Amino acid sequence: MPRVLVTGCSTGFGLAIAQRFLAADWEVVATMRNPGEGVLPPQERLTVLPLDVTDADSIAAAVAQAGPIDALVNNAGVGILNALEGTTIEKVREIFETNTLGPIALTKDVMPQLRERRAGVIVNVSSSVTVKPLPALATYSASKAALNAFTESFAHEAALFGVRVRLVLPGSSPATSFGQNAVARMGMEIPDPYKAFVMDYLGELRGSSDVTQPEDVAQAVWRAVTDPATPMKTPAGADAVTWFREAGLPVD
C-alpha cells in the first residue's frame, strides 16, 4: 500500500490533501506543528506526527517515525500581507524559514530513501502569485518564487534516480486559516502611506468569488503524485488557472 507524508495538515489545503489520499486507500502520515489542534479523526492508514519544518531535530524525528514513504507533499506554509516597509526583517526570515528552507530541509532528509529505491514523488505546494504578482505580497511571493526555482532545478538531480519532483500552484484562498493568518501577521503595522492601498486590495480579495478551494489543491496534488505525465507546474483553483492563461502558461 503506497504511503505519503504531508506537511501542514491541521487545516486548509493540508487537511484536504490528507483526506484525498486516505479516500484513495493510501497510508497517510499527516504532520502538523500541534497534532492536538488537528481535526483529522483517528482511522486506519492514518498516522499523525508533530513536525515543525523550521526545526532540524523535528524534521529528523518525523522522517524517522514516518518510515519508508512513496511520496512527500511539502504543503506547510505561512503567509503575510503587508507593504514591505511594514514588514520586519524578523517576519521576512520567518516566512522564508517556513516556505522555502523548510521544504528544502525536508526534501534533503527524505531524498536518500527515495534515491536508494530509485522511485518516489516529491510535490511542493507553491503559489500562483509567482505567476501573477499581486499587491502587498512581495515577501510571500519571493519565498514561493525561491521554492519554485529550487524545485525546478532539484528535479534534474532527482530524475537521475527515478524520483519525480513537481509543483502545485494554488490561487488565492482568503477564507482558509492560511489566508486569515496572513492578514493577522499584518496586524496594525501597515505604514500610513500604504494603508489605503493595502486595505483596498484586502477588501477586493475578500469580495472575490473566484478563489481556490482546498479541494482544488488536493486534486492537483493527487494528480501530480499519481500521474507521471503531470507538467512541472500545475495550477490549482479557478483563479490560478486564469492567471496561468493570462501569463501564456499551458493549462491541461
Identify the CA nearest to 53 among candidates 147, 137, 179: 147
Q: Is 201 a catalytic residue?
A: no
Q: Give the contacts of 248 (CB within 8 A, at least 6 positions apart).
A: none
Given the residues 140, 150, 178, 243, the one annotated as active site: 140
Q: DSSP alpha helices (H): ranges in 118-250?
A: 138-159, 177-186, 192-207, 214-226, 238-246
The alpha carbon of residue 29 and the mean position of all alpha carbons in its chain are separated, in whole angstroms, by 16
The alpha carbon of residue 3 and the mean position of all alpha carbons in its chain are separated, in whole angstroms, by 19
Please give the angle made by the CA atoms of 48, 214 and 220, to the nearest 5 degrees: 95
First to last CA, the chain: 29
Distance (Å, whole) CA 212 – CA 205: 12
Contact 18/6 with Cβ under 8 angstroms?
yes
Handedness of CA 2, 15, 229, 78 (dihedral sign): negative
> Cell 484586502 belongs to which residue?
202
- Catalytic residue numbers read 140
